[in-house]
């Protein structure tokens, strides 16, 4: 047995146990705050009252959760594919980066909330506009970090591979991509958080389904437990997406580091 191995290293059981304990402590603190502080339920419900709201069939929790998940994952996947693809084109043709990157920066400065009403006019209500809203918010970090990662490769190494008649695809898969993976995943982790915000903003502005839409409906009746439950489910969807990115990063980046 390796005596130098630390039990609290990332990836060990203890790390996950600590995460569970911290969340349980948060729930206990939440319960104590409401009960001991005599907080009215319409201001802040107890965890049990929040959980009971799941039993209300009119809220269609599963359908609304699935709609929000489709918006988040759809916008995020679209941003990753197009973001990495455009950054790759930038690495192949520097003139394209010089021409297009300033335009992307300017477009990124446009308040995404301002695009919501336009998306509704162009595409009406539904999943499509909300997917586009999530995409618009999380696209730029992926492009920026990926482009930087691809440009960090040593020019001498690229010249050597080109001298050996290496194709662009070989240069990308064997040299650029492995070196850029930490940058790519850095942008993907930031984008995962932004995708959740983008989808919910889209639902707030105009939608006929989803957890954000449900929050607006129950706000009228001051059903705070349902609002809290919607926030929790949105958080769970975001955590699942972020966890998938972390898992993929661990598989690809750590494996690449071991190969080297």
Per residue in 19-52, pLDDT tens?
Answer: 788 888 888 888 888 888 887 878 888 888 888 8
Give the pTM: 0.81
Q: What is the DSSP string of 66-130?
A: HHHHHHHHHHHHHHHHHHHHHHHHHHH-HHHHHHHHHHHHHHHTS-HHHHHHHHHHHH-SSHHHH
Residue 166 confidence (pLDDT): 61
Whole-number Å distance between alpha carbons of 13 and 137: 35
pLDDT confidence tier of residue 96, bands split at 50, 70 and 90? confident
**Whole-number Å distance between alpha carbons of 245 and 242:** 5
Q: Do residues 76 and 244 touch, judged by C-beta distance below 8 A?
A: no
Question: Structural domains in the chain?
Answer: 58-259 (1.10.3720.10)
User: Rounded to whole angstroms, how far apart are CA atoms 51 and 169?
Assistant: 51
What percent of the chain has a predicted confidence (pLDDT) above 90?
A: 20
Give the tokens for residue 126.
């539904």
- Whole-angstrom CA distances from 21 to 24, 29, 229, 239 are 5, 12, 20, 17
Between CA 230 and CA 227 the distance in angstroms is: 5
Q: Which residues, including other chains, have CB under 8 Å from residue 61's CB and lie 6 or more apart?
A: 54, 229, 233
CB 230 within 8 A of CB 61: no
pLDDT for res 239? 93
- State the average pLDDT over residues 140-153: 84
- Lowest-confidence range among 57-66, 80-89, 177-186? 177-186
Question: Could you give the C-alpha distances from 236 to 41, 60, 147, 180, 239, in angstroms and in order?
Answer: 23, 17, 30, 29, 5
9 DSSP 8-state letter: S
Mean pLDDT for the chain? 81
pLDDT value of residue 112: 75
Q: How far apart are CA 181 and CA 233, in angstroms?
A: 30
The predicted structure's pLDDT at residue 10: 52
**Using the 8-state DSSP alphabet, how is residue 137 labeled?**
H
> Can you give the pLDDT at residue 157?
63
Which of 117-126, 157-166, 226-235 is predicted most confidently?
226-235
pLDDT band at 72 (very low <50, low <70, confident <90, very high): very high
What's the pLDDT tens digit per position in 213-241? Answer: 899 888 888 888 899 999 999 999 999 99
Q: Is the pLDDT of residue 259 over 80?
A: no
Given a cut of 60, whether residue 256 has pLDDT beyond it is no
- Examine the pLDDT at 100 and tell me if it is beyond 50: yes
Q: Is 50 helix (H, G, I), strand (E, B) or coil?
A: helix
Model confidence at 3, pLDDT cuts 50, 70, 90, reads very low
Distance CA 62, CA 54 (A): 10
pLDDT for residue 229: 92
Name the least confident of 165-174, 202-211, 231-240.
165-174
Mean pLDDT of 71-75: 93
d(CA 121, CA 103): 24
Contacts (Cβ under 8 Å, ≥6 apart) of 245? 185, 188, 189, 192
Neighbours of 220 (CB within 10 A): 7
**Residue 184: helix, strand or coil by DSSP?**
helix
Contact 142, 84 (CB under 8 A): yes
Higher pLDDT, 10 or 106: 106
């Amino acid at each position: 047995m390796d005596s130098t191995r630390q039990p609290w290293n990332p990836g060990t059981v203890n790390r996950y146990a600590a995460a569970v304990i911290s969340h349980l402590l948060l729930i206990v603190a939440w319960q104590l705050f409401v009960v001991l502080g005599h907080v009215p339920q319409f201001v802040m419900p107890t965890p049990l009252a929040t959980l009971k709201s799941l039993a209300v069939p009119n809220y269609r929790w599963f359908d609304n959760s699935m709609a929000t998940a489709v918006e988040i994952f759809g916008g995020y996947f679209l941003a990753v594919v197009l973001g990495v693809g455009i950054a790759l084109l930038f690495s192949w043709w520097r003139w394209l980066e010089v021409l297009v990157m300033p335009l992307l920066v300017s477009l990124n400065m446009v308040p995404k909330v301002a695009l919501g009403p336009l998306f509704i006019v162009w595409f009406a209500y539904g999943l499509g506009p909300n997917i586009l809203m999530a995409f618009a918010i999380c696209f730029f970090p992926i492009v920026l970090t990926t482009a930087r990662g691809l440009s960090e490769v040593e020019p001498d190494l690229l010249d050597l591979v080109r001298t050996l008649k290496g194709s662009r695809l070989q240069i990308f898969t064997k040299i650029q991509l492995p070196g850029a993976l930490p940058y790519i995943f850095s942008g993907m982790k930031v984008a995962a958080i932004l995708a959740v915000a983008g989808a919910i903003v889209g639902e707030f502005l105009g939608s006929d389904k989803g957890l954000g839409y449900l929050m607006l409906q129950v706000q009228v009746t001051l059903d705070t437990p349902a609002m809290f439950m919607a926030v929790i489910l949105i958080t769970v969807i975001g955590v699942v997406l972020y966890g998938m990115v972390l898992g993929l990063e661990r598989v690809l980046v750590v494996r690449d580091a071991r190969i080297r």
